[in-house]
């Protein structure tokens, strides 16, 4: 257990969200430029991003602990030179559950963190349904020209969400690096359904715009069967506790798409 209030800097929206969820939010003195949840996080000083930290801004805040995700591209040496820095694994469900527990230990909020980790595990540690529909969940397209698609990969926390929603990932192998498909690869994959995932922010494309290019891919069975849809939620891209809300919304949307006969829009 630690005594006294710490001075935490978080360079990860997911870590920031988790710290507030376990009761350690008041210990934050700075957050990354991308941390916008919960509302209290928006009021804190900005410290750059995980890949391009604002070193001077961090030093001015005199943190007792810097927290960030352990991506290979993180500037480990530079951040560690500023003070005690923890690089937390934050990709798979197993990573996030373990890192949530560690955040509890680091901040004297172990009980709350253990409870949250348990909820994440119980809600998302689900075996893939052997007869579930083959669903491709893609990130919303906003350029107006579809040349490739970015999708949720099986070996990620969002992949666990798709399993928990009762579907099989249409891309049925682990993907290293950036998960993307060319249009030719998408046509060959031919998933049973495509769900376009959109955030709730003002910069997100409209539903019709997000769907237009996918609806133009007439050979797709998902298009012929009317199983291309948009799922818009503030939890769409969260890797923190709100991921459980996304699991509920995605399960509901998949059930709707496969509830009965569909028609080509």
In degrees and rounded to multiples of 5, residue 196 shows phi and psi of -90, 115
Residues 6+ apart with CB under 8 A from 32: 10, 11, 12, 13, 16, 46, 47, 48, 49, 50
- Identify the CATH number of the domain defined by range 8-124: 3.40.50.1980
Q: Which residues contact 205 (CB under 8 A, 6 or more apart)?
A: 140, 141, 142, 198
Whether domain 134-257 has CATH 3.40.50.300: the reply is: no
Proportion of the chain above pLDDT 70, given as a percent: 92
* Residues whose CB falls within 8 Å of the CB of residue 120, separated by 6 or more in sequence, listed in order: 93, 96, 97, 100, 241, 243, 244
- Looking at residue 262, what is its pLDDT? 53
User: Mean of the per-residue pLDDT values for the chain?
Assistant: 91
pLDDT band at 203 (very low <50, low <70, confident <90, very high): low
Q: What would the pLDDT profile of 97-138 be if each residue is shown by its tens digit?
A: 999 999 999 999 999 999 999 999 999 999 999 999 999 999
How far is C-alpha 151 from the chain's CA centre? 12
> Max CA-CA distance within the chain?
63
d(CA 245, CA 134): 21
Residue spans in the chain of domains classed CATH 3.40.50.1980: 8-124, 134-257
For strands 85-88 and 148-150, give the pairing.
unpaired
What's the pTM?
0.87
Q: 8 with 67: CB under 8 angstroms? A: yes
State pLDDT tens for residues 211-255.
888 888 999 999 999 999 999 998 998 999 999 999 999 999 999
pLDDT at 3 over 70: no
**Pairing state of beta strands 193-198 and 134-139?**
parallel
């Amino acid at each position: 257990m630690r005594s006294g209030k710490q001075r935490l800097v978080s360079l990860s929206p997911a870590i920031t969200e988790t710290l507030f969820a376990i009761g350690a939010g008041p210990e934050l003195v700075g957050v990354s430029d991308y941390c916008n949840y919960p509302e209290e996080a928006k009021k804190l000083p900005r410290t750059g991003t995980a890949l391009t930290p604002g070193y001077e801004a961090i030093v001015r805040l005199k943190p007792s602990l810097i927290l960030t995700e352990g991506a290979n591209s993180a500037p480990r040496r530079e951040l560690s030179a500023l003070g005690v820095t923890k690089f937390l694994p934050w990709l798979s469900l197993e990573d996030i559950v373990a890192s949530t527990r560690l955040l509890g230990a680091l901040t004297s909020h172990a009980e709350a963190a253990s409870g949250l980790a348990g909820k994440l595990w119980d809600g998302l540690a689900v075996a893939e349904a052997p007869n579930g529909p083959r669903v491709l969940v893609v990130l919303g397209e906003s350029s107006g020209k579809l040349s490739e698609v970015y999708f949720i990969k099986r070996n990620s926390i969002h992949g666990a969400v798709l399993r928990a929603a009762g579907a099989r990932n249409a891309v049925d192998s682990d993907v290293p690096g950036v998960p993307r498909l060319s249009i030719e690869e998408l046509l060959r994959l031919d998933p049973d359904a495509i769900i376009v995932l959109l955030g709730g922010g003002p910069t997100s494309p409209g539903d019709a715009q997000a769907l237009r290019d996918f609806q133009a891919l007439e050979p797709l069975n998902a298009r012929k069967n009317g199983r291309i849809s948009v799922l818009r939620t503030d939890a769409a891209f969260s890797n923190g506790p709100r991921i459980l809300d996304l699991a509920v919304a995605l399960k509901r949307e998949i059930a709707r798409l496969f509830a009965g006969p569909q028609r080509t829009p």
